Amino acid sequence: MKTILIVDDEPRTRQGVRKTLEAWSSGKLRIETASSGIEAFEWLERYEANLLITDIRMPEIGGLDLVEKLNEMDNPPVVIVISGHPEFDYAQKALKLGVVEYLLKPLDKMMLVRAVEQALKREEDRHRIGRMEKLVDPKLLEAGEHEQKYSASVRDALRYIDDNLQESVSLRDVAEFLHMNASYFSVLFKEQTGLTFSDYVTRRRIQRAKELLASTHIPIAEIAEKVGYQTSKYFVKVFRSHESVSPGKYRNNVSDAGEMIQ
């Protein structure tokens, strides 16, 4: 269940926003409130919110100061700011801080609901992007972006590696497939991809494993076999050295049962 935290030192506004969103969401969202920026920050240190709706002008910690503090957190909520004053400086700073919407009091209920819908969609998109960033190896991504500039031999080598990840793939095997001298092929591969042959193969295997961990319920031992490791123990060791977590922990971090087709 997604959580919305409403922060406003005016009880009437705070409760009005809460009641509007509770009626709109029909119990599908968890709605929490805080009467000050300090109370909100303390709440967010203990719990997680998907969306923060905050007034700008509050005693001690104003809304934008609160947003600045939250942006230092690992997983800050998306933010809607509400204000009784159409001040350009506030609106400009809010945009720079990544605030999704700037709403003026008195609040139009339909505009509030539309802003919340937009903000929750933004939060979901950010979540998906975060999952993709965890999934993709940046060095493999960079190598793939330049693939069209590689020689035909190196492009053929990349396809051969992909087609044979489940097997034992050695530099000599690929060189023989390409009818090339192994030493020359090794230098050519590193020169064009920026990665040694063994590093590329390992990264590609880990990448395939990450895809399987994120999108299937296949046992880890079976995934190890599918990406070319003879023992799951060695696979776990290599995976941990690359990702700093075990395959099981990685699966828990990136999988989302609600987005998967069983």
CATH of the domain at 252: 1.10.10.60
> 199 and 103 in one domain?
no
> 111 and 176 in one domain?
no
- Identify whether the C-beta of residue 79 lies closer than 8 Å to the C-beta of residue 67: yes
Domain final residue, candidates 106, 133, 160: 133
> 113 and 215 in one domain?
no
CATH number at residue 28: 3.40.50.2300
What residue has token string 């005016």? Answer: 10
- Per-residue pLDDT, 157: 96
Helix (H, G, I), strand (E, B) or coil at 7: strand
Tokens describing residue 181: 């001298």
> 7 and 129 in one domain?
yes
Alpha helices for 75-227 (secondary structure H)? 88-96, 109-135, 138-145, 152-163, 171-178, 182-193, 197-215, 220-226
Domain containing 175: what range? 138-259
- Per-residue pLDDT, 90: 67
Write down the pTM of the prediction: 0.59
140: β partners: none
| Residue 53: C-alpha distances to residues 66, 78, 94, 247 (Å) | 11, 9, 12, 37
> 78 and 107 in one domain?
yes
Report whether pLDDT(260) > 60: no
Q: Which residue from 224, 195, 232 is spatially nearest to 208, judged by alpha carbons?
A: 224
> 223 and 175 in one domain?
yes
- CA dist 96 and 195 (Å) reads 38
> 124 and 45 in one domain?
yes
Q: Name the residue with higher pLDDT: 131 or 110.
A: 110
Domain count for the chain, please give it.
2
Per-residue pLDDT tens digits for 185-197? 999 999 999 999 9
Per-residue pLDDT tens digits for 17-37? 999 999 999 999 999 999 988
> 231 and 200 in one domain?
yes
